[in-house]
Structure 1
Amino acid sequence: MSGNKHSYAILKTPKGKTLVGVGPFKELEECPHTGVAFYKNNFALDEARPWKVPQEVFELSASDFAQFKKPSIEWQELLPDGFTGVFSEINEAIHRGVVEKSVPVATEFGKLAKGDMLGLLRDLHHAGENFYSYAWVDGDDGFCGYTPELLFHLRKGRFKTMALAGTARSDERSIFAFDEKEIREHEYVAQTLVANLSDIGMVKRSDRQIMDLGNLVHFHTPIEIFMYGDHSIDFLLRKMHPTPALGPLPRTAETLKLLHDWRNRLHAPVHFGAPFGVYDHGEFHAVVTIRGAYWKGETVAVPSGCGVIEASRLTNEWRELGLKRNAVKASFGI
């Protein structure tokens, strides 16, 4: 490896290779027309120059980052008080007809006790079949994870995305397939995506499936669009984000403002759930940055979100949030 070891962008592509961009990065307002550029923005999509052109690009191997010792984290207990209040406010908004669904985030914090946060990057090349590994490092700040959620992939007018919503433990898979609440939450997401994308092309929705992620299972519906014409990648990113799986339904200025307020009050990292992608010589691939760890200096955060609809129950959602965070910590060995 060469370059500045404290400036990296990493993303696994659908072809199975994991690209590493090394900084310092040239920052652009819009996607370049040639070469390779990574896309990194926050959840509000208000970073002025989200396109990052690396000094060097290579494919991640097992030896990269092997010199960094994995971190040991001292975790703080996450109390339910803040989440309980937000959950109540979402329920009230549902009953008033303001939203049908929203996605609060609970964040568990810890402190780096020993090791190096760059040690989390050591195993990114081992991402399983249903995961996209991703990372962004800028000095002592960064984030990385293994997300199962594709935002979209664009190649020669073919646009692929997915609906990913509804969660259970893997040992509950057989009953999960018939869980009306989880099916309803998933259908909110899938149907909204199909409706939102029908103006840019012919939409093909596949059957709902169960995605097995080891500790957890999710409902998963592949969606493909054969586009009518050309649209800029920046336009498509704003059209897609936040997806119904991470954002409110309906998605309006009012419901987005409520979501941002709830996320801020629950201390969600600004990049959690945001798009992260790579433009590679005419092809673009972006994921949703969930199932990850976020750090600033010695402060480490592991957030998790859950879809709240009218049928949601507080104890079940709190349990789901914990399952997701524990799956993240287990994947990193922290």
Structure 2
Amino acid sequence: MMEFALFRLPDGRAWLGEGPFTSLAAAPAGGGAFYVNDFDLSDPQPWKVPSKLHVITSESLPKAIHLNGSQKPRVTWAKPATEWFKMAFRRIRREVLAKKIEKMVPVLTETGTLVSGDPRRLLESVMNAPGNMWGYAHVTPKGGFLGATPELLFKSHGKNLETMALAGTAKPGQQEAFLNDVKEIEEHEIVVRFLCERLQTLGEVSREPRSLCQTAGLVHFQSQLSVKLSEETDPAQLVPLLHPTPAVGCLPRDEASLAKLREYRQQLKVPGFFGSPFGFIENDGTAHVVVAIRGIAWQGDTISLPSGCGIVGGSAFDHEWRELRLKREAVLRLLALHS
């Protein structure tokens, strides 16, 4: 199979779309299409209609993508360099303290070399990810990306829209301290405030109390939000309204701050998929769009493993550096990716 896309819901239902794909600017009325774009939303036709669509399970996956007995990948990782990231951290923190920005999320990417095996084999782990995660993948003959994310950008059907704020991170077992961590709460509430302001333009917003989301070896603050839309809205219009949220982007989300964010992403060589919207629309018009984090990308023999951290006034470099490592380790565990 030359090109394919995959999307798995937390309830285990999953779809595999075979290329060649037809590209559309808006979601097709009959559904059955994937939403694939990069972080900068540079594809004006991000809805991809596959030439063949299969409902798949973890059992039927290997045959569906012709894994033919290939082995799980083995990767030699290079130690991530601190200096570029440290420089970005200092600059962003200076801007935050000067009240020019409220928050920004730089991304550190660890790179590795594929020694043996086939990265597509990792899709078996994606299909078996925990029940509070969404699985995603887009693979071409030259490379691809895949992962399992705990972060929903939105789910829409008719006049109902659901979304979440997922920000603030700790290790399991540190819940007590985490629940009262002023910096982590601030980071989370910035995202909630942004989402509420954006969503109020669409209809009546309700928020559930902040709770904990434990998934794949990490704990996050999570707030569920829902909107009764005043009118049905094309999911294609909802993406640019919400993406990027301050959970993966910046606040304020004006052109100057976004340009700075893009500049940092280029300097730090962040793969385009990381933090981007990825989704699927079902035949009944239910659209699921997630934030593509907790994943890897590959091109030829080069593997990229990105992780991001939110910088606010209370951020300290050592703490953020440790958080980045925890997130990358969580991805390696989740995908059972061995070095």
Superposition TM-score tier, normalisation by shorter sequence = over 0.9
Match of 2:295 among 292, 296, 301: 292
Match of 2:27 among 31, 54, 72: 31
Q: Does 1:256 align with 2:258?
A: yes
**TM-score calculated relative to the size of structure 2:** 0.95
Supply the distance in 2 between the matched residues of 1:313 and 1:6 (Cα, whole angstroms): 45
In the alignment, is the contact (CA less than 8 A) between 1:104 and 1:259 conserved in 2? yes
Q: Does 1:10 align with 2:41?
A: no
Q: CA deviation at 1:273?
A: 0.4
Supply the distance in 2 between the matched residues of 1:244 and 1:332 (Cα, whole angstroms): 26
Supply the distance in 2 between the matched residues of 1:80 and 1:256 (Cα, whole angstroms): 23
Partner of 2:38: 42
Supply the distance in 2 between the matched residues of 1:240 and 1:114 (Cα, whole angstroms): 39
Letter in 2 for 1:191: R
> Which has the higher mean CA deviation after the structures are superposed, 71-80 or 116-125?
116-125
Match of 1:315 among 298, 304, 318: 318
Q: CA deviation at 1:14?
A: 5.1
Q: CA deviation at 1:71?
A: 0.3
Deviations 1:283-314 (A, max 9, x none): 11110000001011111000000000011000
Partner of 1:90: 92
Q: Does 1:175 align with 2:177?
A: yes
Q: CA deviation at 1:279?
A: 1.4
In the alignment, is the contact (CA less than 8 A) between 1:6 and 1:140 conserved in 2? no
Amino-acid identity (%): 39
Considering only aligned residues, what root-mean-square deviation do their CA atoms show, in Å? 1.2
Partner of 2:104: 102
Give the match's secondary structure for 2:280. Answer: strand
Give the match's secondary structure for 1:86. Answer: helix
In the alignment, is the contact (CA less than 8 A) between 1:167 and 1:216 conserved in 2? yes
Supply the distance in 1 between the matched residues of 2:46 and 2:124 (Cα, whole angstroms): 25
Q: Does 1:115 align with 2:112?
A: no
Deviations 1:181-225 (A, max 9, x none): 111111111122111111101001000000011411000000000
Map 1:69-218; keep pairs closer than 5 Å: 69-218=71-220
In the alignment, is the contact (CA less than 8 A) between 2:38 and 2:273 conserved in 1? yes
In the alignment, is the contact (CA less than 8 A) between 1:276 and 1:288 conserved in 2? yes
Deviations 1:137-190 (A, max 9, x none): 011210000100001000121000000000000021222111111111111111
Letter in 2 for 1:263: R
Supply the distance in 2 between the matched residues of 1:35 and 1:242 (Cα, whole angstroms): 24
Supply the distance in 1 between the matched residues of 2:42 and 2:136 (Cα, whole angstroms): 21
Partner of 1:325: 328
Supply the distance in 1 between the matched residues of 2:199 and 2:231 (Cα, whole angstroms): 13
Supply the distance in 2 between the matched residues of 1:214 and 1:283 (Cα, whole angstroms): 27
Q: CA deviation at 1:30?
A: 2.4
Letter in 2 for 1:11: F
Supply the distance in 1 between the matched residues of 2:139 and 2:207 (Cα, whole angstroms): 36
Partner of 1:267: 269
Supply the distance in 2 between the matched residues of 1:124 and 1:284 (Cα, whole angstroms): 20
**TM-score calculated relative to the size of structure 1:** 0.96
Partner of 2:235: 233
Letter in 2 for 1:64: L
Give the match's secondary structure for 1:293. Answer: strand
Give the match's secondary structure for 1:251. Answer: coil
- Structure 1: which 5+ runs fail to align? none
Q: How many correspondences in the alignment? A: 330
Q: CA deviation at 1:97?
A: 2.3
Supply the distance in 2 between the matched residues of 1:44 and 1:173 (Cα, whole angstroms): 34
Supply the distance in 1 between the matched residues of 2:279 and 2:258 (Cα, whole angstroms): 23
Letter in 2 for 1:108: E
Supply the distance in 1 between the matched residues of 2:249 and 2:310 (Cα, whole angstroms): 9
Give the match's secondary structure for 2:177. Answer: helix
